[in-house]
Chains A and B, each alone.
Chain A
Amino acid sequence: GDSVTQMEGPVTLSEEAFLTINCTYTATGYPSLFWYVQYPGEGLQLLLKATKADDKGSNKGFEATYRKETTSFHLEKGSVQVSDSAVYFCALETSGSRLTFGEGTQLTVNP
Chain B
Amino acid sequence: DGGITQSPKYLFRKEGQNVTLSCEQNLNHDAMYWYRQDPGQGLRLIYYSQIVNDFQKGDIAEGYSVSREKKESFPLTVTSAQKNPTAFYLCASSDGTGADRQPQHFGDGTRLSIL
Contacts and interface: CB of A to CB of B under 8 A. Distances in A.
Contacts, number: 51
Contact of A43 (B94, B99, B107): B107
Nearest to B107: A43
Interface in B35-60: 40-45, 48, 50, 58
The size class of the interface chain A forms with chain B is 20 to 34
A69 interface: no
Nearest to A36: B106
Contacts of A103: 40-42
B108 interface: yes
Given A97-B48, A98-B48, A103-B41, A42 B109 contact: yes
B106 A45 contact: yes
A49 interface: yes
B112 interface: no
Nearest to B31: A97
A35 B107 CA distance: 16
Mostly, the A contact residues are strand
B13 interface: no
Nearest to B99: A51
A34 interface: yes
A102 B42 contact: yes
Interface in A55-111: 89, 93, 97-99, 101-104
B68 interface: no
Contact of A97 (B40, B50, B107): B50
A17 interface: no
B2 interface: no
